[in-house]
Structure 1
Amino acid sequence: MKEQLLDLAKKRRSIYALGRNVEQSQDDIANLIKEDIKWAPTPFNNQTTRAVILFNENHEKLWDIVAKRLKSEVPTEAAYQKTLEKINGFKAAFGTVLFYTDEEIVHRFENDFALYADNFADWSEQAQGNAQFAVWTSLAENGIGANLQHYNPLIDDQVKEAFNIPDSWKLRAQLDFGSIEAPAGDKDFIEDSERFRVLK
C-alpha cells in the first residue's frame, strides 16, 4: 500500500513553539493555502469555505484583539497572565489563517435542494474540516508548523470590524503558523477495538 498521504498526515501536529524563521515567501505561502482550500472537497461543490490570510501587523492585530477580548472573560489577573502568555505564543508565529463559512451559500443550497436542507450546515462544517486539514498538512509538508484555535464566537465582532469581513461570513477557526521552534509531544491513541469495526 502506498502511504505518502499517511506519512504527511503524521507530520501534521499541533506545534505551539512557533517563530518567524520561515524560508518561504508570504506570497508562496498564501498561494499554497489558497490552492489547498480550492481543492478540498465540499458538498455539491458549493465551495462554502472562505479564508483570510494574515501576515505582519495584521497577524499581530488579530492576537491583540484576542488578548483584549479575553481580559473580561478570565476570572483573575494571574489567570489572565497565563492566558496572555499563551496568546503571545500565537502572536510570535509568522501568520494566521482565519477560516470562515459563507452562510449565504449554505442558505442558498438549503433553499435550492430542500430535500437535503437539514444537512447543509453540517456539511459546511465537514468542508471546513477538509480545508483545515489540507492547509495544515500542506504547511507541515513544507516544514511549517501550525496549531488550530477557536476563539470564535468571542472575537467575531471585533475581527469583523478590524478586517472588513462580509456579514455572511461566519468565523470557524484560527490557524497560526510559523517556523517550528520545538517539536510536538508524543501522541497517544485509544485502542483500535474501541474505534473501528471491519466487517468482511
Structure 2
Amino acid sequence: MSHTTLQNVAELRRSIYALNKELPISTKDVDQIVEHALLHTPSSFNSQSTRLVVLHGAAHDKLWDITTEALRAIVPAENFAPTKAKLAGFKAAAGTVLFFEDQDVVKGLQEQFATYADNFPIWADHANAMTQYAIWTTLASRDVGANLQHYNPVIDDAVAAEWNIPANWKLRAQLVFGGIAAPAGEKTFAPVTDRLKIFG
C-alpha cells in the first residue's frame, strides 16, 4: 500500500454536519470498523483503557433526545431554538459512537507506576483521541460522514442510566455518523510555517 493512500484518506476525513440515516454501508460494517479500531489503536503501557458504545437507530435517536432535554434545562428558553436545531441535526444522522475511558484502569496504572501518575489521565485521552481518529477516518474511507461532539459531562448520568454504563467509565466524546446529505465546506489552513519546525 502506498503512503499516499493513507494521506488521501486523511484528507477525506472532515467534520460533516449535514447527515442523514441512509448509510452507504451496513450497521455490521460500522460495528466492524469500531471493533477494529478498538483492537488496533495503540495506548500507553498497553493500557487498553478506551471503552466504546455504538448506538444505531432508535438508540441513537434516544441519545439526542436525552441531550436535548439536558440542554433545555440549562439553556435559557429564549436562546434555545438554535441549540434545538443543532441537536436535531445530530439526531437526523444514523448513529453515534460513544467514547469512554475506564478510570479503574487509569487509577490502577497510577498506583502501579507512581512516578508517572499525573500523566496517565493525559495518556488515556491520547489513546481515546487516536481511537476517535481511526474510526472517523475509516468511516470517511467508506463514504460515511461524521462529526465529533462533546456534550459530556452534561449528559453523563442520563447516558449511564439509559445504557447501564459502568460507573468507572468516563464519557469523553460522541462521534455522530450517517449518510452524507451535503459535503463539508472548503477547508482553510493556518500557515504551516507557524506550526512546524524541522531541524537536522
TM-score bracket relative to the smaller structure: over 0.9
Residue 35 of structure 2 corresponds to: 34
**Partner of 1:3: helix, strand, or coil?**
helix
Q: Deviations over 1:126-162 (max 9, x none)?
A: 0011000000000000000000000000010111101
Mapping for residues 115-134 of structure 1, pairs under 5 Å: 115-134=115-134
Q: CA deviation at 1:101?
A: 0.3
Mapping for residues 30-179 of structure 1, pairs under 5 Å: 30-77=31-78, 79-179=79-179
In the comparison of the two structures, how many residue pairs are matched? 199
Letter of the structure 2 residue corresponding to residue 61 of structure 1: K
Q: Does structure 1 retain, via aligned residues, the 8 Å contact 2:20–2:92? A: yes
Q: Deviations over 1:177-200 (max 9, x none)?
A: 000110001111111111010111
Letter of the structure 1 residue corresponding to residue 175 of structure 2: L
Q: CA deviation at 1:113?
A: 1.3
For residues 191 and 184 of structure 1, the distance between their equivalents in structure 2, rounded to whole angstroms, comes to: 21
For residues 25 and 180 of structure 1, the distance between their equivalents in structure 2, rounded to whole angstroms, comes to: 15
For residues 5 and 105 of structure 1, the distance between their equivalents in structure 2, rounded to whole angstroms, comes to: 31
Q: Deviations over 1:60-95 (max 9, x none)?
A: 100000000000221233x21111111011001110
Q: CA deviation at 1:163?
A: 0.7
For residues 12 and 164 of structure 1, the distance between their equivalents in structure 2, rounded to whole angstroms, comes to: 31
Q: CA deviation at 1:24?
A: 1.7
Fraction of identical pairs, as percent:
46
Question: Which ranges of structure 1 fall in alignment gaps of 5 or more residues?
Answer: none
Question: Which ranges of structure 2 fall in alignment gaps of 5 or more residues?
Answer: none
Of 59-68 and 27-36, more deviation after overlay is shown by: 27-36
Q: Which segments of structure 1 move beyond 3 Å, counting only runs of 4 or more?
A: none
CA RMSD, Structure 1 to Structure 2 (Å): 1.0
TM-score, normalised via structure 1 length: 0.97
